Amino acid sequence: MDNIAKLIDKAKEETAEVIKKNNDITQDQDRNIVTSGLTLSEEDALKAQIFGCWSIPLGLPYNENLLVRIKLMLEPDGSVSKTEILDHARMNKPGQGFYKVLAESALRAVKLCQPLRVPTSGYERWKELQLNFDAREMLEG
Amino acid sequence: MKKSFLILFCIFLIPIKAVALIEVDITRGNLNPLPLAVSPLSIDNKSKKNFEKILKKENIGSEISIIVENNLRTSGLFNPISKEAFLQAPDIANLKPRFEDWNLIKAQALITGKVTYIDEKLRVEFRLWDVLAAKEMMALAFTTVPSNWRRVGHIISDKVYERLTGEKGYFDTRIIYVAEEGPKTQRKKRLAIMDQDGANNKFLTLGNELVLTPRFNPTSQMVTYLSYFKNLPRVYLLDIETGTQEVVGDFPGMTFAPRFSPDGKKIIMSFAKDGKSDIYTMDLENRLVEKITNHPSIDTSPSYSPDGKFIAFNSDRSGYQQIYVMKSDGSDVRRISFGNGIYGTPVWSPRGDLIAFTKLHKGKFYIGVMRTDGKGERLLTENYYQEAPSWSPNGRVLIFYRETKTNAKGEGFSAKLWSIDLTGYNERLVETQTDASDPSWSSLLSN
Pair B368, B360: CB distance under 8 Å = no
Quickly count: other Cβ atoms within 10 Å of residue B266's Cβ.
19
Pick the CATH number of B34-165 from 3.40.50.10070, 3.30.590.10, 3.40.50.300, 2.30.40.10: 3.40.50.10070
- In chain B, residues with a C-beta closer than 8 Å to the C-beta of A4 are 3, 6-7, 10
Q: Does A117 contact B at CB distance below 8 Å?
A: no
Residue B16 has pLDDT above 80, yes or no: no
- Total domain count, chain A: 2
What confidence tens digit (pLDDT) does each residue in B279-305 have?
999 999 999 999 999 999 999 999 999
Alpha-carbon distance B341 to nearest alpha carbon in chain A (angstroms): 24
Q: What's the average model confidence in pLDDT over B434-439?
A: 96
How many Å apart are CA B60 and CA B38, to the nearest integer? 14
Reference B300, options B284, B312, B288; nearest CA is B312
Residue A112 belongs to domain with CATH number: 3.30.1150
How many Å apart are CA B378 and CA B422, to the nearest integer? 9
| Pair (A84, A115) in one structural domain | yes
Q: Which domain holds residue A13?
A: 1-36
Q: Does A25 contact B at CB distance below 8 Å?
A: no
Break chain B into its structural domains and give their ranges. Answer: 34-165, 174-441
How many Å apart are CA B374 and CA B397, to the nearest integer? 20
Is residue A62 helix, strand or coil?
A: coil
| Pair (A130, A68) in one structural domain | yes
Residues ≥6 apart with Cβ < 8 Å to B259: B215, B224, B267, B268, B269, B302, B303, B304
Pair B284, B269: CB distance under 8 Å = no
What confidence tens digit (pLDDT) does each residue in B178-229 have?
999 988 778 899 999 999 999 999 999 888 888 999 999 999 889 999 988 7
Pair B127, B139: CB distance under 8 Å = yes
| Pair (A105, A44) in one structural domain | yes
Pick the CATH number of B174-441 from 1.10.3720.10, 2.120.10.30, 3.40.50.720, 1.20.1630.10: 2.120.10.30
How many Å apart are CA B388 and CA B354, to the nearest integer? 15
Q: Does A113 contact B at CB distance below 8 Å?
A: no
Please judge whether B77 and A58 are an interchain contact, meaning their C-beta atoms are less than 8 angstroms apart.
yes
Range with lowest mean pLDDT among B8-12, B138-142, B217-221: B8-12
Dump strand ranges (E) for B218-292: 222-229, 232-239, 245-250, 255-260, 266-273, 276-283, 289-291
How many Å apart are CA A127 and CA A71, to the nearest integer? 10
Residue B90 has pLDDT above 70, yes or no: yes
Q: With 0.90 as the threshold, say if the pTM is over it.
A: no
pLDDT confidence tier of residue B7, bands split at 50, 70 and 90:
low
ipTM over 0.90? The verdict is no
Please give the order of strands across the beta sheet that includes B174-181: B202-203, B188-195, B174-181, B435-441
| Pair (A112, A50) in one structural domain | yes
B260 half-sphere exposure, CB direction, 13 A CA radius:
26
Pair A139, A61: CB distance under 8 Å = yes
How many Å apart are CA B218 and CA B216, to the nearest integer? 6
Residue A31 has pLDDT above 60, yes or no: no
| Pair (A23, A49) in one structural domain | no
